[in-house]
């Protein structure tokens, strides 16, 4: 009798847990009164939609440091960019510049002195006015901290404050992209009062890693690590945005992001991979923002430290002809990509519409290999898990190269390891992506081809051609854009012909957003950064 | 008893020294350079060396190791390269979330697992037993990323009963921090809105995590119960007219629990360290995601700090297991 009771109790347990975990085949049968009412949400439909003055962005991982003088992580820029202002800003969807904190500027004839006149009325979030001193302070600070961004600003010899609204940058050499670098995240002007937060001479690095002190329309008001970052309006900004609160929620899992976008719990979902986008696009409340980006996906061909056969341009051309570019973008990017035409992507000045574009021609590739005397070629392809699509890409390339008799061995390593190996030149071929930090072909031509930049810093093909060196270096010393364009185009002809890289494709920027979101402008220079102050819903 | 505890705690010192030595040198042997991660991929050699110098990475490994140990002695875990925060601060931020999740999952696994195991043993080879075994095998063989997603689909999307991610709704302020466990803190401060909300957020991830652990508990309880129930003293007890709950719980279960406790104790350790996938699916701001990000960034101080704390956890759990043995089994004397 008692035993029966025990089994009854135990079976109740069993039934209970089965009920909790088993897949409910008939959800409609559940009694509505068991539904917990969530105190935070109004019970009226739709339950989960975000408020009209609140924007919620789903991103995949938390941020590291937010200090504009330290961070080189584009992902952090989506927080810092709206919190700071820069001397110049990118104009709408173009890579051209418009006035920012500076209402006008002029450059001396020798290209060494840039003088900026500041617009009046800009204030930091605490009400302090933005002055020429703050500008000098910010750049001096970056130069003293000597972390990532210093590489770009090493060219600054001195910053002179002429008056509270006028500041002059004296450069040590002509550097045409200088103006463009000022619009990047590290050009953000920081409130000099950050020095009150200094600890152990860190120039406020620790404080700014977790806080913002800028004059942009927003400021960081809360950061729950691992959960969300919350931006609120800078009360002293002249801009009055519609969104009073912007949440960046950390939702690592793609499926979770998708479900929350579908339910209206988030307005923007950053973490949905290309292969899921076609179905996400079909959701009734979702639209897919699709724009050509400046992010290129390409293969480094190690022209000096890899397999000796790769030193022969004919072998590199053969590899370029072996790829069916259309099939590659279709299989790897679901067609959301455009084949590159030379190193400078479409959308950036300097791109040459008439340049040679390799097309799939297996016969020609085999002939080139025969000419080069390279038979039974076996190459290693290095890649990492940094980009989800690289696995498919590597396998696709393997198949293409097998067709022309080249054996491709896949070598997948951890991201950090891959960077080390690329830096040392420890590979034959390697997959890579590149996007410009500032809107100037310098970002591609000088970084990729100048033989002073061997390794991770840019010339990852370890490619050296004196003529190309001369052309790109010359283009980096004159300020006349038309003349520079000519030099870059000349250099491009050579580097396309010699193929130290396999120019694969320019990726589309794809972002699933809620249909009722308005005013989002995509600027290819500011990928992943939102113009929050102009947006609404 | 005291001697066991003192002995174990003094052994902890050696364990920890070994752990720091191993993790430190392992993480410095693998190729990859955190300075490189920090300055960005395009940095020049000069900048890279400067940052390496700032981080102290240009010193010989053993000097770095002793600097690290010196810091540890005064409770300084170093500064995380990725978050630029003291590692101890980061651990205090992320650990409570993981502990809260692991504890609840652990409690659920025990509350359901032990009765289920007993039921299976008592009703051996009947429908109950088969159902219980199928259920527990399903739990152990279903990957968490799948059962978690199924849970989200059912309870978040279709039924709309439970939230799918995070610890609290955005509109709800977290309770004042005492322990960092939202459930406990909101109870202490009488913040019912936060208590209810954090409980709703906990349920789905905790059940998902418990589902995988439950099987281990159930199967262990079942087999040790079966073993105990077949022993002579149980037959003797039965012959003396002892049956029902008294026989089951006082005579059989107590003995059957001894091996179970080892398994359960270790499984709690793995709950702490292994909740990574669950945390990812449910956007749970715990250690899992933090450590994975740190490893990807080669953030040595963060990785070391995490390993250190987890090792302490394991040693303490083992100690607790031993103490529980001692209490359950009077035969185990010093």
- Look at residue B212 and tell me if it is in a domain: yes
**Best interface-test mutation with B: which of A256, A262, A420, A431 has the largest number of B CBs within 10 A?**
A256
Model confidence at A355, in pLDDT bands (50, 70, 90)? Answer: very high
- Look at residue B29 and tell me if it is in a domain: no
pLDDT in tens, A370-384: 999 988 999 999 999
Query: Which residues, 6+ apart, have CB-to-CB distance to A486 below 8 Å?
Result: none
Are A250 and B281 a contacting pair at CB < 8 A? no
pLDDT in tens, B102-113: 889 989 988 988
- Look at residue B187 and tell me if it is in a domain: yes
**Most confident range, picked from A14-18, A383-387, A409-413, B189-193:** A409-413
Please give the share of chain A, as a percent, with pLDDT higher than 70. 91
Mean pLDDT computed over B13-34: 83
Locus of tokens 């339910």: A263
Residue of B319, B323, B329, B321 lying closest to B263 (CA atoms): B321
Which chain B residue's Cα is nearest to A250?
Answer: B283
Q: What is the CATH number of the domain that holds B197?
A: 1.10.3720.10
Structurally, chain B folds into a number of domains equal to: 1
Paired with A56 in beta bridges are A247
The full DSSP string for B105-141 is: HHHHHHHHHHHHHHHHHHTTTSHHHHHHHHHHHHHHH
pLDDT in tens, B179-206: 888 889 988 888 888 899 999 999 999 9
Mean pLDDT computed over A118-136: 95
d(CA B71, CA B73): 5
Locus of tokens 């009325």: A121
Model confidence at A299, in pLDDT bands (50, 70, 90)? Answer: very high
d(CA A129, CA A1): 84
Distance from CA of A492 to the nearest CA of B (A): 21
A73 compared with A179, residue with greater pLDDT: A179
DSSP H or E run through A363: helix A362-372
**Alpha helix ranges (H) inside A81-149:** 132-145
Residue of B324, B153, B310 lying closest to A253 (CA atoms): B153
Give me the domain span that covers residue B194. 94-333
Mean pLDDT computed over A93-97: 89
DSSP H or E run through A218: strand A218-224
- Look at residue B256 and tell me if it is in a domain: yes
Per-residue tokens: A250: 């950390």
d(CA B47, CA A409): 34
Are B285 and A226 a contacting pair at CB < 8 A? yes
Are A24 and B159 a contacting pair at CB < 8 A? yes
Global pTM reads 0.84
Model confidence at A28, in pLDDT bands (50, 70, 90)? Answer: very low
DSSP H or E run through A97: strand A97-99
A340 φ/ψ sector (left φ>0, alpha ψ -120 to 50, else beta): beta
**What's the mean per-residue pLDDT of chain A?**
88
- Look at residue B106 and tell me if it is in a domain: yes
Q: What is the pLDDT of residue B273?
A: 64
Distance from CA of B118 to the nearest CA of A (A): 8
Residues of B with CB below 8 A from A414's CB?
Answer: 30, 32, 296
Residue of A382, A294, A381 lying closest to A340 (CA atoms): A294
Are B32 and A260 a contacting pair at CB < 8 A? no
Q: What is the pLDDT of residue B333?
A: 55
- Look at residue B164 and tell me if it is in a domain: yes
Q: What is the pLDDT of residue B12?
A: 81
Are B244 and A6 a contacting pair at CB < 8 A? yes
The full DSSP string for A386-400 is: SSTTHHHHHHHHHHH
Q: How many CB atoms lie within 10 A of CB A193?
A: 14
Distance from CA of A33 to the nearest CA of B (A): 11
The full DSSP string for B280-296 is: HHTT--SHHHHHHHHHH
Mean pLDDT computed over A38-66: 72
Paired with B34 in beta bridges are none
Q: Indicate the range of A309-313, B9-13, B157-161, B191-195 predicted with least confidence.
A: B9-13
Per-residue tokens: A323: 């790829």
Nearest-5° Cα angle at B49, B43 to B54:
110
ipTM for the whole complex: 0.84
Q: b or e along A171-182 (b: 16 or more beta carbons within 10 Å of the residue's beta carbon)?
A: beeebbbbbbbb
Q: What is the pLDDT of residue A44?
A: 37
């Amino acid at each position: 009798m008692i035993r029966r009771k025990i089994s009854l109790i135990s079976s109740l347990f069993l039934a209970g847990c089965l009920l909790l975990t088993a897949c409910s085949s008939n959800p409609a049968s559940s009694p509505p009164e068991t539904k917990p009412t969530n105190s935070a949400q109004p019970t009226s439909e739709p339950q989960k939609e975000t408020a009209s003055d609140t924007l919620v962005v789903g991103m995949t991982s938390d941020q590291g440091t937010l200090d504009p003088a330290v961070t080189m992580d584009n992902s952090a820029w989506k927080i810092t960019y709206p919190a700071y202002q820069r001397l110049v800003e990118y104009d709408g969807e173009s890579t051209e510049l418009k006035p920012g904190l500076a209402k006008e500027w002029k450059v001396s004839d020798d290209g060494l002195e840039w003088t900026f006149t500041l617009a009046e009325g800009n204030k930091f979030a605490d009400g302090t006015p933005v002055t020429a001193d703050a500008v000098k302070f910010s750049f001096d600070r970056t130069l003293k901290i000597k972390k990532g961004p210093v590489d770009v600003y090493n060219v600054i010899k001195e910053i002179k404050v002429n008056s509270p609204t006028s500041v002059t940058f004296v450069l040590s050499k002509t550097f045409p992209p200088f103006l463009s670098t000022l619009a990047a995240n590290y050009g953000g002007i920081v409130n000099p009062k950050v020095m009150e937060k200094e600890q152990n001479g860190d120039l406020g690095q620790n404080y700014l890693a977790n806080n913002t002190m800028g004059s942009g329309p927003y400021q960081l008001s809360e950061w729950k690590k691992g959960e969300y970052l919350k931006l609120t309006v800078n009360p002293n900004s002249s801009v009055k945005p519609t969104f009073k609160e912007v949440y960046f929620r950390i939702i690592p899992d793609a499926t979770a992001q998708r479900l929350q976008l579908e339910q209206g719990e988030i307005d923007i979902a950053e973490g949905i991979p290309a292969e899921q986008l076609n179905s996400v696009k079909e959701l009734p409340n979702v639209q897919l923002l699709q724009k050509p980006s400046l992010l290129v996906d390409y293969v480094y061909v190690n022209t000096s430290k890899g397999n000796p056969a790769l030193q022969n341009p004919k072998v590199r051309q053969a590899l370029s002809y072996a790829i069916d570019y259309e099939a590659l973008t279709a299989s790897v990017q679901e067609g959301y990509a455009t084949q590159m035409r030379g190193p400078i992507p479409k959308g950036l000045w300097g791109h040459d519409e008439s340049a040679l574009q390799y097309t799939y021609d297996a016969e020609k590739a085999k002939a080139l290999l025969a000419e080069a005397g390279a038979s039974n070629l076996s190459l290693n392809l290095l890649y990492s898990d940094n980009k989800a699509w690289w696995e498919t890409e590597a396998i696709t390339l393997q198949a293409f190269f097998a067709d022309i008799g080249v054996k491709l061995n896949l070598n997948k390593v951890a991201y950090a390891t891959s960077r080390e190996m690329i830096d040392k030149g420890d590979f034959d071929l390697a997959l890579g992506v590149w996007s410009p930090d500032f809107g100037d072909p310098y970002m591609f031509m000088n970084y990729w081809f100048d033989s002073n930049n061997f390794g991770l810093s840019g010339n990852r093909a370890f490619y050296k051609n004196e003529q190309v060196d001369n052309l790109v270096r010359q283009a980096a010393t004159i300020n006349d854009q038309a003349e520079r364009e000519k030099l870059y185009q000349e250099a491009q002809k050579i580097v396309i012909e010699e193929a130290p890289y396999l120019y694969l494709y320019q990726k589309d920027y794809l972002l699933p957003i809620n249909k009722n979101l308005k005013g989002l402008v995509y600027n290819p220079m500011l990928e992943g950064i939102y113009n929050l102050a102009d947006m609404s819903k | 008893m005291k001697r066991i505890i003192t002995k174990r705690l003094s052994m902890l010192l050696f364990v920890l020294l070994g752990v720091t030595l191993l993790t430190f040198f392992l993480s410095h042997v693998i190729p990859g350079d955190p300075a490189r991660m920090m300055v960005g991929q395009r940095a020049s050699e000069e900048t890279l060396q400067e940052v390496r110098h700032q981080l102290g990475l240009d010193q010989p490994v053993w000097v770095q190791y002793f600097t690290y140990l010196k810091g540890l002695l005064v409770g300084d875990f170093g500064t995380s390269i990725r978050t630029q925060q003291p590692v101890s601060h980061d651990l205090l931020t992320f650990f409570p979330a993981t502990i809260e999740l692991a504890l609840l999952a652990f409690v659920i696994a025990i509350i359901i697992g032990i009765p289920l195991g007993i039921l299976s043993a008592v009703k051996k080879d009947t429908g109950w037993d088969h159902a219980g075994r199928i259920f527990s095998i399903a739990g152990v063989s279903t990957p968490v990323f799948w059962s978690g997603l199924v849970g989200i689909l059912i309870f978040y999307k279709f039924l709309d009963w439970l939230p799918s991610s995070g610890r609290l709704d955005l509109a709800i302020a977290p309770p004042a921090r005492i322990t960092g466990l939202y459930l406990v803190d909101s109870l202490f401060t009488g913040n019912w809105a936060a208590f209810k909300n954090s409980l709703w957020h906990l349920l789905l991830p905790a059940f998902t995590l418990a589902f995988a652990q439950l099987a281990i508990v159930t199967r262990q309880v079942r087999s040790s119960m079966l073993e105990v129930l077949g022993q002579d003293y149980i037959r003797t007890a039965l012959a003396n007219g002892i049956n029902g709950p008294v026989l089951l719980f006082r005579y059989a279960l107590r003995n059957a629990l001894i091996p179970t406790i080892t398994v359960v104790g270790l499984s709690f350790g793995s709950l702490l360290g292994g909740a990574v996938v669950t945390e990812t699916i449910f956007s749970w701001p715990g250690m899992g995601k933090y450590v994975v990000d740190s490893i990807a960034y080669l953030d040595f101080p963060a990785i070391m700090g995490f390993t250190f704390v987890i090792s302490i956890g394991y040693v303490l759990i083992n100690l607790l297991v031993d103490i529980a043995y001692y209490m359950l089994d009077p035969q185990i004397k010093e």
